Amino acid sequence: MRIFKTILAFCALFVLFSLLNNSQGSIPPLGKFLNPFVGFWINGEALDHIDEVLDVKGLKEEVKVIWDERQVPHIFAENTYDVYFAQGFLTARHRLWQMEFQTHVAAGRVSELIGSKAIEFDKTQRRRGLLLGAEKALQKISEDSETQLILQAYANGVNTWIDMLTPVMLPLEYKLLNYEPETWSTLKTALLLKFMAWDLTGRNSEMDMNIIRSALGEDFVNQYYPDDTPRTDPIVPVAKPWHFDALVPELNPAAFEPQFVKDLRNAEPDRDNGSNNWAISGKKTASGFPILANDPHLGLKLPSIWYEIQLHTPDMNVYGVSLPGAPAVIIGFNENIAWGLTNAGSDVMDWFEIEFKDDSYSEYLYMDEWIDAELRVEEIRVLGGEVVLDTFAITRFGPLVYFGEHNLENDHPVGLAMRWSAHDPSNEMKAIRGMNLASDLESFFSALDQFDAPGQNFAVAARDGDIGIRHNGKYPLRGSNQGKFVRAGRDTTGEWREWIPRDQLPVISNPWRGFVSSANQNPVGKKYPYYMGWEYEDYERGSRINDRLKMMENIGFQEMQDLHMDNFNKGAQYILPFIIEQLEPASLTRDEIEILHDLEQWDYVSDPDERAAWVYKQWWLHLEQAIWNDELTLFGEVRELPTRSVTAELLLRKPNLIYYDDINTPETEDRKTIITSAFQQTVSDLTQGLGPYGDAWELGRARGTDINHLLKVKGLGRTGLLTGGGVGMVNATKKTHGPSWRMIVELGDSLKAKGIYPGGQSGNPGSVYYDNAVDDWVAGNYYKIYFLSTPVVQKDTNHLLTSLRNYQ
């Protein structure tokens, strides 16, 4: 009996040991995870210690790093290789897991981490061709020795940090998911850049436009989905003449109806990925020096999307934010220029329906002949050991992303291929290096010639007084509305053959009004000879920025901060008084009359404590749905709605529009009816969701903002932040989206700069520097930026100095 008990005890111990040291489904090995010496506990301790001297293998010369009080590294190196090596090393020190996880997402390798539930995501991600584009980018980069050196130096720095990692130092997320970092490569950096390009250009409504045109007609599309939305104030003023001989595109392809319906909007990036930027002439500033401001609007996550840094060598001194996983500074400034980015919004993606010979997908029809497709076989490794093979065709129109569910009448299978400018060979890193080194407007714009994707509006201010903005990117030469619909990939019609010349892209320098700006709106007016797309941001943000800048004089930092935080809702100012007039007071309850009174008294400022702001937002959504959802619910999905400005103009100008009537009811609804019913439905829904009219209806409480962890792990993010602003406002903060970096730079004899992003330098949730800036970001505060010229700790600061020394 005693032996039996002993054996039983050993068996129990063995089972317990196995349970604690092996994953149980999605649960990490609890023994490792709970280990008091190397488990997650250690990630809650202060791991922010700065060493005075750090021996680092792989440097050519000693590198000095000044750490400011927010743990921003100011890197001073004696050569190009060392500065980017140190950037990779120090960025990995703070953000290694974030860097690597994002490359797994971009490459379609999530199944390796979380198992079979990610297989379909990984398949789609690989078919989209981000990895294909990254591979082509590396081929292009290999032609430029300096860019290749920069990427390799960065990768070497990251790998040196990885080699120095111990189980104690391993980031928390590796312990949660039970895996370890792999060797960093230049391909991973190229992938990250393509991932950013996808995030900013991977949206489209071509299938929706086909479906809407088929159901409601060409005239409906032309009238309610125009190229130029009402009241738009373009980036380049409409009065600018264009002095060049424009290329003439081929004739537009004939209308085409795809053989199958696919919702291309699934898993597409946020439609509000955009930004604000402006550059102001010294003629309008208090100091007499130009000022640049920028706030890119992206999904808000922890760790933060950006990493703040300064890079100094004998030939370069640049400060700004970098993309963790990529070298150099993406948005920032040097001694002579400052620059900021907004998303261009011009169309760089087309979808083509491809007809294949058979279900091998090895041949497709082109110019009445069957031509060979390149078959790419992807190995998707799944957590637990399974390997899934996915084969897809690559055509002259791009990779086949979606397979048709049914064959054509001739029994030939079809699919949708994606033509995307970011698939083409390019070297954006060469452009970014040139931007970091630029000394004036001319050299900066010259560097942009290498920047193909994503398309961006680059606003620039120079120390010599120049300001300018360029709508930059690689854009196909198209006829009007080409790319608005899915096309037939059967011949050359609609195929991308030429590009808009770089020297004919929209650009303006030193305009008479004393500023340039952009807010993702249409870059040009109707006089510009090229068609660039139609899905630009509505007029409100850009128009508000221009209105404010026109009125401002003696501009300083405070005025720029106030404009960044501007919560004025110009769309509400335009339409709200009218729809209030249309209400039928006799049909309103006492509570509805109280809410109506607050709407009438509202000043259109969407501050966090404003109830009327949230009521208006919901009322407008209900009103849009009442007008459009019945007609635009096609094939079981609500399709692309007309823009806010189009709908507002219809309400104001068209009292008898047939679309006010709900085709699903026996009654005939008119404008007054739907406005009133939308208001009453809004009050009902909000009362049900938030309770009686009161503080819970305030914008900051009812919507607020959440900054979630990348893995959406509860407790590792910041939720319920009391924010204002919203869609169509300069402060474009939403529930999980908003200004990811606010920066203001004044160039002059003594450069001054401020900035903030919603997070912190560290990716470690246990660090003080993980989310230390969030509350100040919510409040609209900014931090002083230290733009250093020497690696010397300044008096009256809490800065620290680290020497990175090479050892063999």
Is the per-residue pLDDT at 636 higher than 60? yes
DSSP helix/strand/coil, 654:
coil
Least Cα distance to 101 among 202, 191, 197 occurs for: 191
- pLDDT class for 341, splitting at 50, 70, 90? very high
pLDDT at residue 13 above 50?
no
More confident residue, 361 or 45: 361
Beta-carbon contacts of residue 489 (< 8 Å; ≥ 6 apart)? 352, 353, 354, 355, 364, 366, 395, 396, 397, 417, 495
CA separation for the pair 238, 519 (Å, rounded)? 16
Within 8 A by CB and 6+ apart from 110, the residues are 104, 118, 121, 122, 125
> pLDDT at position 111, please?
97
Which residues on neighbouring strands pair with residue 801, listed in sequence order? Answer: 66
Range of lowest pLDDT (2-11, 209-218, 565-574, 744-753): 2-11
pLDDT band at 8 (very low <50, low <70, confident <90, very high): low
Residue 482's pLDDT band (boundaries 50, 70, 90)? Answer: confident
pLDDT-based confidence at 56, cuts 50/70/90?
Answer: very high
Question: Where is average pLDDT lowest: 46-60, 153-167, 701-715?
Answer: 46-60
pLDDT at 743: 98
pLDDT over 70 at 41, yes or no = no
User: H/E element holding 648?
Assistant: helix 644-653
Q: How far apart are CA 612 and CA 606, in angstroms?
A: 8
Q: What is the DSSP letter of 579?
A: H
Write out pLDDT tens, residues 72-119: 999 999 999 999 999 999 999 999 999 999 999 999 999 999 999 999
Among 12-21, 468-477, 630-639, which stretch is predicted with the lowest mean pLDDT?
12-21
Terminal CA-CA length for the chain: 61
pLDDT at 516: 98
Residue 593: band (very low, low, confident or very high) from pLDDT cuts 50, 70, 90: very high
Does the structure show a pLDDT above 80 at 520?
Answer: yes
Q: What does the buried/exposed string (b/e) look like for 591-611 if buried means 16 or more CB atoms within 10 Å of the residue's CB?
A: ebeebbeebeebebbbbbebb
Q: What is the pLDDT of residue 263?
A: 67
Of the listed ranges 8-17, 112-121, 512-521, 675-684, the least confidently predicted one is 8-17
What residues contact 797, with CB distance under 8 A and at least 6 apart? 68, 69, 786
Residue percentage of the chain with pLDDT more than 70: 93
Rounded Cα distance, 302 and 767, in Å? 12
DSSP single-letter state for residue 446: H
Per-residue model confidence (pLDDT) at position 584:
83
Q: What is the identity of the amino acid at 405? A: E
Give pLDDT, residue 795. 86
Query: HEC states along 48-84?
Result: CCCCCEEEECCCCCCEEEEECCCCCEEEECCCHHHHH
Is the pLDDT reported for residue 6 higher than 80? Answer: no
734, pLDDT greater than 80: yes
How many whole angstroms separate alpha carbon 181 and alpha carbon 163?
Answer: 10
pTM, two decimal places: 0.93
pLDDT of res. 493 = 85
pLDDT tens per residue across span 219-271: 999 999 998 889 999 999 999 999 999 999 987 777 788 876 766 766 677 77
Least confident window among 325-329, 663-667, 795-799: 795-799
**What is the distance, to the nearest Å, from the Cα of residue 86 to the centroid of all Cα atoms in its chain?**
27
